[in-house]
C-alpha cells in the first residue's frame, strides 16, 4: 500500500539532502549503516553527516549524537539502518524531530508475512502523519551522484560517473546491474524496494524538474497508482524527458475474468503494455534492450520527426542482414525518392545499387568523405527520420585492422555535429566496436547487437511525439438508472438481458424473443421470420454450445418445436442445477467477418477492450489486440490493424469487403458503454460480432456484472 504523494520539499530532502542522519551508525563492516557511512565519505558528500548512536562517541571519526532530538536543526534525511522491529520507533522519532525524509533499509515488511504487512501499513501512516518521503523499506537506498549523497547500503563502484540518466528500480539487484554497465553516466540511482509511502510517481515528478537528468530509467514490478503515474509522465513529457521501463513479472497465470473469452486473450501483460503506450513510456524487452535504448535516448541530440529509417553500410550482405532484423522488429524502411536515388547514383560506383538499405561499397574505406556525402543525401529524403549506420569493427582487431574503420567513424561523427536527421552507429556484435573506432564517435549514439539496437530504434520511434491526451469522459450512470438497479439485485444477466442493455447503448444486436414453451417458440420464429436460431436462456450457462444449447438454421414450425424440446432436455442433462428460463428465438443473420469485441478488467488499470478474430475457434486462434479505456475512433482503428481482422475486412480470398466503419462504431460504442457502466461490470464478451458488407451485429453476448 502506498501513501499519499510526497511534497516537493520532502522529495528534495530525500533526493538532494544537505544533511544526513544515520540511525544505527556503526563501523561493523557488514552492517547496512556502515556501508552508508563509508559511501558518504568516499563520494565526498558535501553536507553534514550525523551518526546517531546511543553510546559510541564517534563512528569513522565523526562525532555522534545519541538521538535526533539533540540536533539544533532537523536533518534533511534519516537513514534508518536498524532491524525491522525497531524501525517504526526510529521513524516516529525522526518525524517528531522535523525530519522530512527517510531511507528505510531493513527487510521484514509487506514482502514477508501478515506481521510485516501490518508493520508496513504503520510505516505509511507515520509518513502521512509527518509528511515524510520514504525510500523503501526493503531497499538498498539511493545515490545522488551530483552532490555525493550516497545513501546506499551496498558497495558503490568508484567507476560510476556523473551523467544524465536516473535509474529508479523496485529491484536492488537490477539497479546495481544497470548502473554498472559502463555505458552511460548517471544523475541518480534509486533502489526503492517496497515503495510503501513514496513510489515511482513521486520520484518521476521530482526528476522531471531535475536539471541534471535528461532520461529516466525504471525497473518496475508494479504500477500501484495509474493516475499518479500518468500525472508524473505528463510532467516528464512537458520537460521533454524520455522515460524507459524494464518490467519484471510479465508472465501471467490467467485473467480473473476467465469465464469470458476476453479473459484468456488479454492478460495483465497486455494491460501494462497498453498503459505504457498511453503514457508514452518506452518499454524495453530485457536488460540489453534497456541499455541500448538508454544509450540512444541519451545521445540523440534531437528526436526523430519521421518514422522512416535508412540503413547504410559497406557490405551488401551486411546491410541485408540488418534489414532482415529491422523487418522482424517492425521498423519501416521506406523507398527513397527519385531525387535521392539520382544523387546516390551520381556519387557511388556504377555497380552500387542506390536503394534502402544502402551498400556504399568499399570505396568509402579509401575516402570517408563519400560516406559523409551519403549521409547528407539520406538526410534530405522526405521519408527518412533516422539513419542507421551499420558498421562492425570488432574489439579483437589489431591496431592496423581497426584503423581501416576510423575514417567511416570520423565521417559519421562529422555528420552528427550538424545533422538535421539523427544517426545511430550500430555494431552487429553485442561486444561492440573496437575502442579506436568508438573513441572517434563522440556525440553519436553507439549501439551494440543488431536486434537490441534496432529494437531500441523502433521503440524510440514509436514514442516520438508521444503526448498524453484525456479522452472525453462519458457521464457514469446514476443510482437511479434502471440497469444499475437491476444489477444491484446481484442476479446474473442472461444473454438476452445483456443484449437489451447493449442495444440501449448504441450497439446493434439480433432481434429475438424468449419462449418458455414449444408453441411460443413457433410463434416467435414466425414473427421474426425463418430461418432462426434457438439458444438456451440461463444465467448459469455461459457457453451454450458445450451443453447442446444452440440450434442453427431452424426453417419451419416443426423444426422449432423439436429444437425447443431438444435444447431444454440437453441443457438439463448437462447442467441439472442450472436455472433454465426457456429458449431464446433469434434472427439468423447473413454471413460476414466474425469478430470478437469484449471488455476485461485488469487492476489497477480498470477495464480494457479486446478486439480480435471471433467465432468458435477464438481461443485456439488467439488473434486479438488490447487497449485500455476509453477508446476513440483512432484507437479502435489501431486495434483492428493489430489483428488479422484488418485483412479479413478488406475481403479475403474472394469474399466481399466488410464494413470496417461499422466495426469501429461497435468498438467505440462498447467503450462508451463501459464509461457509463464500468463500475458495475467485470467482463463483457461479444462473440461473434458479425461484420457484413453493410453494418455489424452482435450475435452472442456474455455480460458479467461485478456483483454476480
Host H or E run for residue 672 = helix 660-677
- Phi and psi, residue 706, nearest 5°: -65, -35
Rounded distance, CA 233 to CA 243, Å?
8
Cβ burial of 578 (10 Å; 0-12, 13-18, 19+) is middle
* Unique residue bearing C-alpha cell 478488406: 650
CB of 129 closer than 8 Å to CB of 98: no
pLDDT for the residue 469: 63
Q: What is the mean pLDDT of residues 651-660?
A: 90
pLDDT for the residue 264: 54
Cβ burial of 541 (10 Å; 0-12, 13-18, 19+) is buried
pLDDT in tens, 282-304: 999 999 999 999 999 999 988 89
Residue 472 has pLDDT above 70, yes or no: no
**Residue that wins the pLDDT comparison between 473 and 607:** 607
pLDDT for the residue 259: 40
pLDDT for the residue 621: 75
| Band of residue 467 on the pLDDT scale cut at 50, 70, 90 | low
Q: What is the mean pLDDT of residues 25-32?
A: 96
pLDDT in tens, 49-73: 999 999 999 999 999 999 999 999 9
pLDDT for the residue 466: 66
Residue 177 has pLDDT above 70, yes or no: yes
pLDDT for the residue 253: 42
CB of 693 closer than 8 Å to CB of 659: yes
pLDDT in tens, 325-384: 999 999 999 999 999 999 999 999 999 999 999 999 999 999 999 999 999 999 999 999
Cβ burial of 440 (10 Å; 0-12, 13-18, 19+) is buried
Integer Rg of the chain from CA: 31
| Alpha carbon 599 to chain centroid, angstroms | 19
pLDDT in tens, 676-694: 999 899 999 999 999 999 9
Rounded distance, CA 189 to CA 503, Å?
53
pLDDT in tens, 541-565: 988 989 999 999 999 999 999 999 9
Please write down the HEC assignment for all residues of 167-201. Answer: EEECCHHHHHHHHCCCCCCEEEEEECCCCCCCCHH
Could you give the residue ranges of the DSSP H alpha helices within 306-441?
316-329, 338-347, 363-366, 368-379, 399-403, 406-417, 435-438
pLDDT for the residue 6: 77
Cβ burial of 72 (10 Å; 0-12, 13-18, 19+) is exposed
Residue 260 has pLDDT above 50, yes or no: no
Neighbours of 478 (CB within 10 A): 7
pLDDT for the residue 266: 59
Residue 203 has pLDDT above 60, yes or no: yes
Q: For residue 67, what are the contacts with CB-CB under 8 A and spacing of at least 6?
A: 52, 54, 93
* Unique residue bearing C-alpha cell 432436455: 569
pLDDT in tens, 488-524: 887 888 999 999 999 999 999 999 999 999 999 999 9
pLDDT in tens, 111-144: 999 999 999 999 999 999 999 999 999 999 999 9
CB of 494 closer than 8 Å to CB of 548: no
pLDDT for the residue 250: 66
* Unique residue bearing C-alpha cell 532530538: 69
Neighbours of 141 (CB within 10 A): 28
pLDDT for the residue 487: 83
pLDDT for the residue 248: 83
The model's pTM: 0.90
Residue 708 has pLDDT above 80, yes or no: no
pLDDT in tens, 514-538: 999 999 999 999 999 999 999 999 9
Residue 254 has pLDDT above 60, yes or no: no
CB of 681 closer than 8 Å to CB of 607: yes
CB of 201 closer than 8 Å to CB of 231: yes
Could you tell me what percent of the chain has a pLDDT over 70? Answer: 95
- What is the pLDDT of the chain when averaged over all its residues? 93
Report DSSP state, residue 148: T
* Unique residue bearing C-alpha cell 484468456: 264
| Band of residue 261 on the pLDDT scale cut at 50, 70, 90 | very low
Q: Bridge-partner residues for 386, per DSSP? A: 309
pLDDT in tens, 474-492: 888 887 899 988 888 878 8
pLDDT for the residue 3: 47
Q: Bridge-partner residues for 104, per DSSP? A: 80
Q: What is the mean pLDDT of residues 249-258?
A: 47
pLDDT in tens, 396-433: 999 999 999 999 999 999 999 999 999 999 999 999 99
Amino acid at each position: 500500500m502506498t501513501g499519499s504523494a510526497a511534497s516537493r520539499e520532502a522529495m528534495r530532502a530525500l533526493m538532494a539532502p544537505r544533511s544526513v542522519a544515520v540511525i544505527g551508525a556503526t563501523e561493523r563492516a557488514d552492517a547496512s549503516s556502515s556501508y552508508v557511512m563509508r559511501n558518504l565519505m568516499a563520494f565526498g558528500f558535501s553536507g553534514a553527516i550525523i551518526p546517531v548512536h546511543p553510546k559510541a562517541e564517534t563512528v569513522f571519526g565523526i562525532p555522534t549524537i545519541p538521538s535526533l532530538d539533540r540536533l539544533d536543526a532537523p536533518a534533511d534525511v534519516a537513514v534508518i539502518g536498524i532491524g525491522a522491529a525497531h524501525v517504526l520507533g526510529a521513524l516516529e522519532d525522526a518525524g517528531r524531530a522535523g525530519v522530512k525524509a527517510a531511507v528505510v533499509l531493513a527487510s521484514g515488511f509487506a514482502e514477508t508475512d501478515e506481521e510485516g504487512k501490518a508493520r508496513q501499513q504503520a510505516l505509511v501512516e507515520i509518513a502521512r502523519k509527518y509528511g515524510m518521503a520514504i525510500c523503501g523499506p526493503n531497499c538498498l537506498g539511493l545515490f545522488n551522484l551530483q552532490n555525493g549523497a550516497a545513501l546506499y547500503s551496498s558497495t558503490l563502484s568508484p567507476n560510476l560517473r556523473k551523467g544524465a540518466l536516473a535509474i529508479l528500480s523496485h529491484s536492488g539487484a537490477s539497479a546495481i546491474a544497470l548502473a554498472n554497465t559502463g555505458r552511460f553516466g548517471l544523475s541518480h540511482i534509486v533502489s526503492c524496494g517496497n515503495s510503501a509511502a513514496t513510489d515511482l510517481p513521486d520520484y518521476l515528478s521530482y526528476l522531471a524538474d531535475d536539471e541534471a537528468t535528461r532520461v529516466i530509467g525504471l525497473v518496475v514490478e508494479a504500477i500501484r497508482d495509474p493516475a499518479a503515474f500518468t500525472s508524473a509522465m505528463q510532467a516528464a513529457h512537458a520537460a521533454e524527458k524520455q522515460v524507459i521501463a524494464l518490467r519484471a513479472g510479465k508472465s501471467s497465470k490467467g485473467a480473473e475474468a476467465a469465464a469470458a473469452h476476453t479473459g484468456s486473450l488479454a492478460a495483465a501483460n497486455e494491460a501494462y503494455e497498453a498503459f505504457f503506450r498511453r503514457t508514452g513510456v518506452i518499454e524495453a524487452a530485457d536488460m540489453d534492450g534497456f541499455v541500448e535504448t538508454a544509450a540512444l535516448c541519451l545521445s540523440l541530440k534531437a528526436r526523430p520527426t519521421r518514422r522512416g529509417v535508412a540503413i547504410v553500410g559497406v557490405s551488401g550482405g551486411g546491410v541485408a542482414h540488418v534489414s532482415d532484423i529491422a523487418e522482424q522488429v517492425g521498423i519501416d524502411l521506406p523507398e527513397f525518392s527519385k531525387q535521392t536515388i539520382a544523387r546516390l547514383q551520381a556519387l557511388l560506383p556504377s555497380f552500387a545499387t542506390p536503394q534502402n538499405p544502402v551498400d556504399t561499397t568499399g570505396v568509402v574505406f579509401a575516402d570517408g568523405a563519400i560516406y559523409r556525402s551519403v549521409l547528407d543525401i539520406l538526410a534530405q529524403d522526405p521519408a527518412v527520420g533516422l539513419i542507421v549506420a551499420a558498421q562492425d569493427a570488432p574489439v579483437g582487431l589489431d591496431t592496423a585492422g581497426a584503423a581501416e574503420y576510423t575514417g567511416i567513424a570520423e565521417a559519421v561523427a562529422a555528420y552528427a555535429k550538424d545533422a538535421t536527421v539523427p544517426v545511430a552507429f550500430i555494431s552487429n556484435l553485442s561486444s561492440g566496436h573496437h575502442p579506436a573506432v568508438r573513441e572517434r564517435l563522440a556525440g553519436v549514439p553507439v549501439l551494440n547487437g543488431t536486434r537490441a539496437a534496432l529494437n531500441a530504434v523502433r521503440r524510440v520511434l514509436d514514442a516520438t511525439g508521444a503526448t498524453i491526451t484525456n479522452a472525453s469522459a462519458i457521464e457514469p450512470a446514476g443510482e437511479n438508472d434502471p440497469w444499475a438497479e437491476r444489477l444491484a439485485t446481484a442476479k446474473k444477466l442472461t444473454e438476452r438481458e445483456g443484449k437489451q442493455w447493449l442495444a440501449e447503448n448504441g450497439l446493434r444486436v439480433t432481434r429475438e424473443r424468449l419462449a418458455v414453451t414449444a408453441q411460443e417458440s413457433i410463434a416467435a420464429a414466425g414473427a421474426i421470420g425463418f430461418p432462426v436460431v434457438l439458444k438456451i436462456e440461463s444465467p448459469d450457462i455461459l457457453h451454450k454450445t458445450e451443453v447442446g444449447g444452440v440450434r442453427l438454421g431452424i426453417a419451419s414450425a416443426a423444426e422449432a418445436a423439436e429444437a425447443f424440446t431438444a435444447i431444454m432436455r440437453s441443457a438439463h442433462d448437462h447442467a441439472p442445477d442450472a436455472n433454465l428460463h426457456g429458449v431464446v428465438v433469434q434472427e439468423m443473420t447473413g454471413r460476414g467477418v466474425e469478430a470478437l469485441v469484449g471488455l476485461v478488467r485488469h487492476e489497477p488499470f480498470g477495464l480494457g477492450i479486446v478486439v480480435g478474430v471471433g467465432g468458435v475457434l477464438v481461443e485456439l486462434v488467439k488473434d486479438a489486440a488490447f487497449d485500455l479505456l476509453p477508446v476513440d475512433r483512432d484507437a479502435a482503428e489501431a486495434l483492428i490493424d493489430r489483428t488479422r481482422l484488418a485483412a479479413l475486412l478488406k475481403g479475403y480470398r474472394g469474399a466481399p469487403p466488410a464494413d470496417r466503419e461499422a466495426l469501429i462504431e461497435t468498438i467505440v460504442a462498447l467503450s462508451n458503454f463501459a464509461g457509463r457502466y464500468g463500475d458495475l461490470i467485470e467482463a463483457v464478451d461479444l462473440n461473434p460480432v458479425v461484420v457484413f458488407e453493410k453494418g455489424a451485429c452482435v450475435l452472442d453476448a456474455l455480460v458479467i456484472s461485478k456483483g454476480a
